[in-house]
Amino acid sequence: MRKTGTASTASTMARSADPDRAGIGRRTLLTGGIAGAGIGAVLGAGAAVGVGAALRGGDTASAQPAPFGGDALPCHGQHQAGVATPATAHVRYVSYALLPGTDRAALERMLRILTGDIEGLSSGAGPLADPEPELAARPSRLTVTVGVGPGLVDRVGAGLRPEWLAPLPEFGRDRFDGDHDGGDLLLLLQADDPMPLAHAARMLDRDLRSFARPLWSQQGFRTARGAEAPGTTMRNLMGQVDGTVNPAPDDRDFADLVWLDEASPASGPGGWLAGGTALVLRRIRMELDTWDRVDRPGRELTIGRRLADGSPLTADAASPGGGGERAPADFAAVGSSGLAVIPSYAHIRRAHSTDPGERIFRRSANYDTGAESGLLFACFQRDPLRQFVPIQRRLDELDLLNEWVVHTGSAVFAILPGFASGGMLGAPLLAARV
């Protein structure tokens, strides 16, 4: 008999009430982490001492830091985890197509099952019927973020879909391979360790077999945790610092750019997406063999930034704002030749907008299949038609970087609002009426 989210949630509550799991229990000693009361976050900051020292209450000088694999991030809240939470080292996107018989009632069962198992997996307890719970015991900041495509929303009810939840307009340089496009349901899994990520993907795929079939899967990576200082901007496989000009979750206008609210038409009829956001995912293949033939000055003119530190070509220690990656680019600056220092075709000039509302929150990852390398470009925003599309049109028209990149896949998903303990993912959608 297929389990329900209620049963899974009840099981999780029962496990937390087990006296062996209270305080620092046997499982905590084995996993090296505690998924509650903010302790996982402390371990993630590298501030905790080893468990043995904590029990002894002394001699912390010789204690070793607890391994980070026990870190668990909460899955409950107004927003789903995995969007504004800190980026992890590994990411996997899995898209599904609904089976013909998956109607509204089946979707409710599916979302209830997913809710319960996401609660278990992200906490390190694992799903109720997990045959290998040991693989879930060290979640390593695992998050599972659920998105829905246009086909799923249409099955819930005609007229519920916001305008932007559809394939993007065609761009002249798109060369889609047909293997990484669209979908009815998306699972976005992120973790610092590929083991809990792979295990979670398999458990959730098992949940979905009666409701949907796998459509495509894409896996990416960033720099390993601890290899760089926190807050360091990632580099892509072209060597570029990737994502410098990016709103941060603690910025005043972040919510206005990213999170939907009930008053926004982009949140769908009845505001069922309030607390959610829009995800655009683009698979971008990099032609690294030909990129390697371009000299360093040519690469920097193509991007508009120095490869060494990501600083704009117009920045130096004496310029306004100083030098470095965060220095503002001076698009009006001209050199001794009378030409613009940052050319008209440079990537950062084409991506730049004077409209403060025309910004997106980027969360990209590299991919390398052995035969192909590139970028899984992901961005979150309220409305892709008004935020992502204008930027991409400018890049499509005159970005010299297009000589070395090819967009081979594209998908748009509505990231569902968060949920409370005892609640269910997608409940506002199922309750919505036109």
d(CA 366, CA 376): 6
Torsion of CA 344, 363, 67, 250, to 10 degrees: 90
Residue 152 · residue 102 · CB < 8 Å: no
Among 242, 253, 309, 396, which one carries the catalytic annotation? 242
C-alpha distance across the termini of the chain, in Å: 34
Cα angle: 168, vertex 170, 173; to 5 degrees: 125
Distances (CA, A) of 262 to 78, 205, 276, 426: 13, 32, 10, 15
Active-site residue, 242 included? yes
Residues carrying an active site annotation: 242
